Structure 1
Amino acid sequence: MSWALLAAVGGGWLMSLAYPDPGWWPLLVPGLGLVLWALRGRGVGGGLLVGAVSGFAYYGFLIEWLTVYLGLVPWLALTLAQVFFTALGGALIAQAWRWVPRAWPGPAGRLVLTPVVVAGAWMTREAVSSVFPFGGFAWGRLAHSQAEGPLAPLVAWTGFSALSFLIAALVAVTVAAIGATDLARLHRASVPVGLAAALLVWPAFPIATTGTMTVAAVQGNSNSGLFADYQRGEILQDHYDATQPLFGRDDIDLLVWPENASDLDPLRDDYASQVMDIVSREVGAPLAVGTITASGDETFNSQLLWRAGEGAVDQYDKIRPVPFAEYLPMRDFFTPLAPDLFALVPRDYSFGQRDTVFDIDGVIAGIAICWDIVSDDLFFQTIDDDAEILISPTNNADFGVSDQSVQQLAIARLRAIEAGRTLVNASTVGASAIVAPDGSTITDLPLFTAGTMVADVPLSDTVTPAHYFGRFLEWLVIIFTVTTIGAARVLGRGTAKGKR
């Protein structure tokens, strides 16, 4: 167990390095390999312990950016919340390692079925923690590490969950092969080598274009964090100033400003609405602008589509505000536990009910505000609403000079590949980039630098397999995994009794 715990810590740390920054994606393989090796031969208690230790090392390093403005307590709370799930996942994986090869002791059971079930257990943990509780925390899935890696094109075929499953299967089969010392070396090596070769040579899904449009996006480099000390209208001014180099152009079809780019709501503030009119008129295009809107007693994190002389012609209200950041779930329960901490969430944003797309003169643009980028079902809904291009306005100012914004851009890059759509990631401070449907960067901006991006980008209405299957593959793997482990326990115990 001592060696297993050391492997769990080292494996979790190596895995965290696979994500930006530094984004050394090959380290995911040895890191995950160490964690899975540490879980071999463990019972439920040992699996819980190894899973918890590896999860703390993994998430503790991965989301260190949470400490920039919020300090250690929120970082520790979120890390421990994920440790709860990694511990349960560790116990499930340990059960797979223990019982499946007992029930099916032949080479196929040990080198194929067992690693598949182990990978399914890992994916099951990811799938549950990505949606539960309060919408889950879908950050740090195995798939997210591959934005710059050779497996990224697979996400258009598989979606995020199934790509995580394939990565885990490749590592698990390698661990199983190394441990099967009683089998011939060539026999053991054939399975992991064959799977790796298949994944690496699998072709990218072909994307058909339906046309192009010219998109411009602005990064205002504004002081727009939660605890920022700024003057009223200052954030709006920053984005107006950054946009001025685009004035007078007549080739732009859509201008995108980030989330919270206007600290004044143009639906309620005449000055802000006049600025929106000026920007839209001078650029010669509708403006998608992020702001905070209100309707009665409800407050929304919104993106408005603004046209000069017409005002807001469409609006998207964030459907899923971030718990413990944009709203406090069960406020009466949590507030007495840490009044000073939860006072940092003074208001509760309401859950939006509008659709997720804007019609830009016949071109359908899907909108995903900031944390929406990690929600599978929201992106499936956007494609269901016929989006031909994806717009992801975000405000990363709360995380300062940290890895959060580049990790988020990596997820956005994979979303572009998954959907087969151009994606415009526009941030207040960066990382801002326009990403092609194959995940390559069309244009980008340096962090913490005011500037603009302009590009003629492809449009598409292709339905990728990832979208066609939706969550079907995820549910299929979960049901197969749980059923197989349950059957293995029954068969494995029967085999052990028979031998006695």
Structure 2
Amino acid sequence: MLLRCLLALAGGLVLAGAFEPVGHAWLMPPAIAALVFSVRGLAPRRAWLPSLLFGITFIYAVMVWMRAVGTDAWLAMCALEAAFFVPLGLGLTWSLRLRAWPVWAALWWVGIETWRSGFPFSGMPFGRLVYATADTPWADALPWIGMTGVSFLVALTGTTLAWLLLQVRTPTRTTYAAVGGLAVVTLAPALLSFPVTQTGTATVAAVQGDVPGTGLDVPAVHREVTANHVRLTRELAQAVDAGERPRPDFVLWPENSTAVDPFLDPGVHEGIIAATDAIDVPVIIGGMSNDPLDEGQVLNQGIVYQPGLGSGDRYTKRHPVPYGEYIPFRGSLIPSTYGKLRMVPRDMVRGTGLEPLRVGDLRVADAICFDVAYDEGISGQVARGAELVAVQTSNAMFSRTDQLAQQFEISRLRAQETGRWVVVAAINGISGVVRPDGTVVASVPARGQQVLVEEVGLSTTITPAVRLGVWPARLTLAFLVCHSAFVLVTYRRRRRGGRLVEQTDGAR
């Protein structure tokens, strides 16, 4: 058992190496194979331990950036996320008893991944296998089968590798057929790329204004942050008037480019209006608006400002961060005045809309910060006619960590999934413009202060992944429920059958 536990611990660390900052995606299959070998042959009542150890090393390593919030937050959150590997261990042992077990084991991985990515309090999707696939053949399958499908493909590669290692001494025709089939499924999308029809172009400006001082605390210097974005936008307007830069069709500011309600703060409101009128095109700002229905709540919004008209369409962040942007069960479980929770005096309300923003003549899908890691928001807006994707983010707290790189990789993968250009505006890094094939046209590093002006393509083509939406994820959850129910029913029948035999033998 000790060797199994050591193998699991090592496998979790190896899997973390597939993600930024190491970023070696080829480590994923051997890491998953290590997990399979660590639980193979164990009874379910014992398999949970190596699986949990695998999850502990993986989760704590891949999300070490959460220490920027606080060591206590990192320990608590990662403990919760690692706990999901306990049912994964059970599911793997059940799967290994079936024919074609690599398929069922891969489904268990993706099902648990989906579960922890949505529960509790919207879950934590960072660490999904698909999020380490940028610049790999796996990513070429994104427009066809979506995020959940690609995670399954990666997991299947790992479980199949474990199966091959068991077959290496006595390979059969089935062995060769399985390897060939997996290779075809993995490499075919690179040869049969999904055709995306470009319907036009637009010029977009993304403003990264930076955060003065340490760069970590936006609320403490929020007026300076807003002033930076106002100044850079007005400087862009001057360069446009001088013929030095092309006039954009709209300007994108990041999340928290104003950390107060722009409709109630006269100084902030005047700055935004001045910048919008100067550039004479719509500006999508990132603002914190008071909830009109409850003064004790706040909305994190992307707000379209039209020159000469003021505010227009709004997008409200769909996935506020628990204990960072709102406190679940405020006052009933943990006092809201405890420790850093004092920094969250009001709860952020969850957005529900999926209509793209109308920005002049364009329709733009918006995502705010962690929204980009969830499947339904961007795909839902693209399915409703969005021609390109905008990501507004404020990663200031994580500006000295690798969270920036991990999140930017997710934005790149969203471009491939949706067949859309993606424009990222970060408050102090990483901003960038991404083609539908995932390549980066231009970017601004962390703590840079710059305006990107790039021509992007527009499209209304709907990829199969967007049409599938969240159904692949739902099906994996349904698989977990059905397989668990099947195992439990079978187990009860066997116990009843055993008791019946004992009673019959006793009667004789």
Q: TM-score, normalising length from structure 1?
A: 0.90
Aligned to 1:261: 257
Question: In structure 1, what residue type is equivalent to 2:163?
Answer: A
> Deviation per CA, 1:162-194, whole angstroms, max 9, x where unpaired?
111111111101101211356336653442343
Q: What is the CA–CA distance in structure 2 between the aligned matches of 1:23 and 1:30, rounded to whole Å?
A: 15
Aligned to 1:237: 227
Matched, 1:119 2:106: yes
Shift of 1:382: 1.2
Question: In structure 2, what residue type is equivalent to 1:208?
Answer: T
Superposition pairs of residues 428-443 of structure 1, within 5 angstroms:
428-443=427-442
Shift of 1:91: 1.6
Shift of 1:454: 0.9
Shift of 1:196: 2.4
Shift of 1:227: 4.1
Q: What is the CA–CA distance in structure 2 between the aligned matches of 1:116 and 1:236, rounded to whole Å?
A: 51
Aligned to 2:209: 220
Aligned to 1:62: 62
Question: In structure 1, what residue type is equivalent to 2:285?
Answer: V
Q: What is the CA–CA distance in structure 2 between the aligned matches of 1:195 and 1:166, rounded to whole Å?
A: 9
Shift of 1:477: 4.1
Q: What is the CA–CA distance in structure 2 between the aligned matches of 1:190 and 1:423, rounded to whole Å?
A: 39
- Correspondence for 2:123 among 136, 153, 162: 136
Question: In structure 2, what residue type is equivalent to 1:119?
Answer: A
Matched residue SS, 1:331: coil
Q: What is the CA–CA distance in structure 2 between the aligned matches of 1:390 and 1:63, rounded to whole Å?
A: 26
Matched, 1:199 2:186: yes
Q: What is the CA–CA distance in structure 2 between the aligned matches of 1:341 and 1:123, rounded to whole Å?
A: 34
CA RMSD of aligned residues (A): 2.4
- Correspondence for 1:178 among 148, 165, 175: 165
Matched, 1:285 2:281: yes
Aligned to 2:313: 314
Shift of 1:157: 1.0
Q: What is the CA–CA distance in structure 2 between the aligned matches of 1:200 and 1:490, rounded to whole Å?
A: 40
Question: In structure 2, what residue type is equivalent to 1:282?
Answer: A
Shift of 1:361: 2.3
Aligned to 2:17: 17
Aligned to 2:362: 363
> Deviation per CA, 1:141-174, whole angstroms, max 9, x where unpaired?
0111102222112111111111111111111011
Matched residue SS, 1:234: helix
Shift of 1:354: 4.5
- Correspondence for 1:168 among 141, 151, 155: 155
Matched residue SS, 1:138: coil
Superposition pairs of residues 92-491 of structure 1, within 5 angstroms:
92-97=91-96, 99-100=97-98, 109=99, 113-180=100-167, 183-184=170-171, 187-202=174-189, 203-223=192-212, 227=217, 230-231=220-221, 233-248=223-238, 249=240, 251-296=247-292, 297=295, 298-336=297-335, 339-480=338-479, 483=482
Moved over 6 A (4+): 488-494
The 3 A distance-change label for structure 1 pair 184 and 405 is same
Q: What is the CA–CA distance in structure 1 between the aligned matches of 2:390 and 2:258, rounded to whole Å?
A: 17
Shift of 1:307: 1.7
Shift of 1:127: 1.1
Shift of 1:358: 1.4
Matched residue SS, 1:332: coil
Matched, 1:29 2:29: yes
Q: What is the CA–CA distance in structure 1 between the aligned matches of 2:85 and 2:247, rounded to whole Å?
A: 50
Contact 1:290 1:304 in 2 (8 A): yes
Matched residue SS, 1:333: coil
> Gapped runs of 5+ residues in structure 1?
101-108
Question: In structure 2, what residue type is equivalent to 1:18?
Answer: A
> Deviation per CA, 1:355-374, whole angstroms, max 9, x where unpaired?
54211222100111101111
Q: What is the CA–CA distance in structure 2 between the aligned matches of 1:151 and 1:369, rounded to whole Å?
A: 26
The 3 A distance-change label for structure 1 pair 243 and 458 is same
Question: In structure 1, what residue type is equivalent to 2:207?
Answer: V
Q: What is the CA–CA distance in structure 2 between the aligned matches of 1:491 and 1:232, rounded to whole Å?
A: 60
Matched residue SS, 1:32: helix
Contact 1:177 1:189 in 2 (8 A): no
Shift of 1:405: 0.8
Question: In structure 1, what residue type is equivalent to 2:127?
Answer: G
Contact 2:262 2:288 in 1 (8 A): no
Aligned to 1:103: none
> Deviation per CA, 1:192-226, whole angstroms, max 9, x where unpaired?
34312431232221111111110000111114967
Q: What is the CA–CA distance in structure 1 between the aligned matches of 2:93 and 2:114, rounded to whole Å?
A: 18
Q: Which moved more, 1:133-142 or 1:215-224?
A: 215-224
Shift of 1:47: 2.2
Matched residue SS, 2:457: strand
Q: What is the CA–CA distance in structure 2 between the aligned matches of 1:355 and 1:478, rounded to whole Å?
A: 23
Aligned to 2:501: none
Q: TM-score, normalising length from structure 2?
A: 0.89
Q: What is the CA–CA distance in structure 1 between the aligned matches of 2:391 and 2:419, rounded to whole Å?
A: 15
Matched residue SS, 2:272: helix
Q: Which moved more, 1:241-250 or 1:413-422?
A: 241-250
The 3 A distance-change label for structure 1 pair 386 and 87 is same
Q: Which moved more, 1:336-345 or 1:207-216?
A: 336-345
Q: What is the CA–CA distance in structure 2 between the aligned matches of 1:158 and 1:31, rounded to whole Å?
A: 23
Question: In structure 2, what residue type is equivalent to 1:349?
Answer: M
Q: Which moved more, 1:189-198 or 1:317-326?
A: 189-198
Aligned to 1:105: none
> Deviation per CA, 1:291-339, whole angstroms, max 9, x where unpaired?
1111341311111111222111222222331111110111123324992
Q: What is the CA–CA distance in structure 2 between the aligned matches of 1:325 and 1:482, rounded to whole Å?
A: 31
Contact 1:304 1:312 in 2 (8 A): yes
Contact 1:236 1:264 in 2 (8 A): no
Q: What is the CA–CA distance in structure 2 between the aligned matches of 1:353 and 1:201, rounded to whole Å?
A: 37
> Gapped runs of 5+ residues in structure 2?
241-245, 499-508
Question: In structure 2, what residue type is equivalent to 1:123?
Answer: V
Question: In structure 1, what residue type is equivalent to 2:203?
Answer: T
Matched residue SS, 1:334: coil
Aligned to 2:503: none
Question: In structure 2, what residue type is equivalent to 1:273?
Answer: H
Aligned to 1:104: none
Of all paired residues, the percent bearing the same amino acid is 29
Contact 1:218 1:453 in 2 (8 A): yes
